Chain A
């Protein structure tokens, strides 16, 4: 079956520091990977969509300078949160899509900023 792993599951960083999170697709080829942030109220914010052989498209309020993403192959993607502050807290989810329209999600990386 299609599985998505994310690590770390939880991370704590000091305000102003950076942290990197990873997403790995197993059992299928991730032709696109979407990164979301989920709030404590469970709402989703789409950060960016990365499609193989295309430029990474960032949503409004999210920039490459703040959330650089790497998608080097069909099974792996990573995103860094640079200069993290309190407003960057949340559960970061990666949704990987194969040949169908559905996305498969990992368990998320929960970011706490002190």
Chain B
């Protein structure tokens, strides 16, 4: 079945550092890809989505490129702030099946001032 892999469980950074979160996916169909962010005490919030291969999604300084060749959707941000501390989830949905989102295991990002 469809799956999403996030290898990094935890990333610890200082303000202004570069953020990179690895995400790869496996599916037999042509998915839409997402990044969600979850702050303490809240539900996941949509950060960005990309529906077309080779396209890039950009939001709030974060960006991710849908790479169909490497089946990856890595998240990057050039300069993180303390307020970016949260859990980040990569996710996909099978556009043909009308199914629910499939989430990765999440990456906790901690940014110190």
Chain A residues within 8 Å of B, Cβ to Cβ: 4, 6, 32, 34, 36, 41-44, 46, 49, 51, 93, 95, 101-108
What are 29 contact pairs spanning A and B, CB under 8 A? A32-B98, A32-B100, A34-B101, A36-B100, A41-B105, A42-B105, A42-B106, A42-B108, A43-B103, A43-B105, A43-B106, A44-B89, A49-B99, A93-B44, A95-B100, A101-B49, A101-B51, A101-B93, A102-B34, A102-B49, A103-B46, A103-B93, A103-B100, A103-B101, A104-B46, A105-B36, A105-B43, A107-B42, A108-B43
Additional A-B contact list (12), CB under 8 Å, known A34-B101, A51-B98: A36-B100, A43-B105, A43-B106, A46-B100, A46-B102, A93-B44, A95-B44, A95-B100, A101-B32, A101-B49, A103-B100, A106-B43
Whether A42 and B87, one on each chain, are in contact in the complex, defined by CB atoms closer than 8 angstroms, is yes
Chain B residues within 8 Å of A, Cβ to Cβ: 32, 34, 36, 38, 41-46, 49, 51, 87, 89, 93, 95, 98-103, 105-106, 108
Centre residue among A4, A42, A46, A108 by max chain B CB count within 10 A:
A42
